[in-house]
A and B are shown apart, each in its own frame.
Chain A
Amino acid sequence: MKTIDLAESSIRELNQALHDQAQECLEREFEVLNPKGQHNIACGIDQNLSVDIRGHAGYFCAGMNKKAHVVIHGNAGQGVAENMMSGTVRVKGDASQAAGATAQGGLLVIEGNAGARCGISMKGVDIVVKGSVGHMSCFMGQSGSLVVCGDAGEALGDSLYEVHIYVKGEVKSLGADCVEKEMRPEHIEELTELLNRAGVDEDPASFKRYGSARQLYNFKVDNASAY
């Protein structure tokens, strides 16, 4: 196991060490000390590694992650796991705005709360939040799943495409073209699997499903007020 202390090493040195594992993997486990809210920690990994970050991370932690399993033992700043392709990122504390933004795959688990725009523009990632999510979450979400065990803020799923949204708590308001949908057996199954993968103990039957009404899929005069 390799320990990198950001009180002594730079972000550049850390990321280079992580990137070097892509060609030839000589070290699979990394521990990062003293992150102290610095930005771009462990971004651009392209290897099946395990990275534990002991403290709070700044912006874009684990950005564009591929294959790695990153755990932030603290809070994460804006854009955690943005554009992730595969692998997992787990935030033990809270996540700031745009968590999982535009991510295409993998699993993002937030054990605390997520800020505004959680899952904005998501393109295939699975996001599971044990707490609540802020306003405009899943804005223009294209595909993937968003599971919220707490509440959702205003305008959930505004301009939604095909993301499956499951919320257990209260939804402050729904965004344009986002509607409540029926929970059928296949959805219970999908949600069960997501909760299991995230290690979250909740009863799928207590969730409601939300999805796109698909009314904005083609420009129509009658929808002019939605634009």
Chain B
Amino acid sequence: MSNDINVNPGLRESATFDRTTMAEIRRAADTGIYDIRGFGAKRKLPHFDDLLFLGASMSRYPLEGYREKCNTQVTLGTRFAKKPIVIETPVTIAGMSFGALSANAKEALGRGASIVGTSTTTGDGGMTPEERGQSSKLVYQYLPSRYGMNPDDLRKADAIEVVLGQGAKPGGGGMLLGQKITDRVAQMRNLPKGIDQRSACRHPDWTGPDDLAIKIQELREITDWQVPIYIKVGATRTYYDVKLAVKAGADVIVVDGMQGGTAATQDVFIEHVGIPTMAAIPQAVQALQEMGMHRKVQLIVSGGIRNGADVAKCMALGADAVAIGTAALVALGCNDPKWSAEYEKIGSAAGFYDDYQEGKDPAGISTQDPNLMQRLDPVEGGRRLANYLRVLTLEAQTLARACGKNDLRNLEPEDLVALTVESAAMARVPLAGTSWIPGQGF
């Protein structure tokens, strides 16, 4: 509904055919092709803001700061790997490709993550030397496209993440349009320069968890069983997917909810496929608990993590760690109002920009244009990201201490209540002031 005071109050906008919807219909009529954009699901969804912590009072006692430690360190990959990854904070950087992002952006992410002792992840385009050079812990994605995939980089990685899908587009493959396929990107991906990259949505040499089990064995053999193998899925039938990931032999499972971002895919895919992150976590945890694998196969969740409260709530619901994508880019300067004039020039606005696929990002992050890319200084970007990661960690610790926990992983679902019926049902915690959890017992 319009809150615009300049619109005549006697006018009434349709909730079904609002201005945004009408603009999209006109665009479709103009072009004959679906709308492609970046970012995650933008519509309002049940999310962590609907959950609240029950802090300490008479029956529970809080922890003091400083001396009364609240541990944030997590070890990932304890199931089979000889060298699990130890991260100092449970906030990791999610997979985003070089190609989708500029080289400076990837370097900044590596720098920031390394300063605080956490991991970054390559994306659908392969590993860059800048990234490996600047990241103390680097997870290497293994995707359907296999762009830039090679055993040397596999052996340089600290972990391998087999990607079945991501929250923004579960069941879809990578997408990169011609304007971002520069010489360097084209060379890494083995594609002609300037074409619109088509996507494979399934892996070329295996289909199904039974064959995935064999593929994971192959990856372990090639890396001499040293490093953890993650499996990443977009959140859909999460309960079954997590069980199958365990059966297929994963050390770590990454579940990415529909709020998870992308650099480019169809808008309909982003908004209408997959489930909210909050609804996926209890399914994943239940699956792990039923198999006796909770905490033995670690769970990383992503999709709309923005602040330390989100981090703490994910931990309370049973995750071992989280991953951030969109939030990391915002920390680097994505959608920063200081570029307002630039956003307007390209028909957008600061805070609204999601046309990552265009490659014209004024902030120099989701672009391959060398002039634009210069606007992001990787060292300064790294510093900003490190600051943000520290804040996420401190905020999560604050909430955990208030709940009497000396370790973020000691947060439990029983520390939470919900504000709405939907969030109570999805997160499987009681509606505040009641003992009612809707949706149980079916």
Contact = CB atoms under 8 A, between A and B. Distances in A.
A touching B, CB within 8 angstroms:
yes
A213 to B, nearest CB: 13
Interface string B195-207: 1101010001110
Given A39-B217, A82-B205, A121-B204, A64 B151 contact: yes
B370 interface: no
B54 interface: no
Contact of B217 (A40, A219, A224): A40
A127 B215 CA distance: 22
B325 to A, nearest CB: 25
B195 A217 contact: yes
B374 interface: no
Interface stretch (A10-18, A106-114, A178-186, A203-211): A10-18
A60 interface: yes
B196 A78 contact: no
A217 B196 contact: yes
Contacts of A216: 198
Contacts of A76: none
Contacts of B152: 46, 66, 85
Interface string A195-227: 000000000000000000000111101001000
B279 interface: no
Contacts of A64: 150-151, 154, 222
A79 interface: yes
A43 B222 contact: yes
A47 interface: no
A104 B200 contact: no
A102 B205 contact: yes
A44 B145 CA distance: 19
Interface in B153-204: 154, 177-178, 190-192, 195-196, 198, 200, 204
B221 interface: yes
Contact of B190 (A12, A98, A104, A219): A104
Given A83-B150, A221-B33, A161 B217 contact: no
A224 B32 contact: yes
A44 B223 contact: yes
A121 B146 contact: yes
Contacts of A98: 204-206
Interface residues of B, number: 32
Interface string B15-32: 000000000000000011
Interface string A36-67: 00011001101000000000001110011010
B32 A46 contact: no
Contact of A140 (B192, B196, B198): B198
Interface string B216-255: 0110011111000000000000000000000000000000
Interface in B289-341: none
A101 B200 CA distance: 13
A36 to B, nearest CB: 15
B49 interface: no
Nearest to A82: B205
A123 interface: yes
A83 B149 contact: yes
B211 interface: yes
Contacts of B391: none
Nearest to B31: A221
Given A64-B222, A159-B198, A101 B211 contact: no
5 contacts: A15-B224, A46-B152, A59-B206, A104-B190, A142-B191
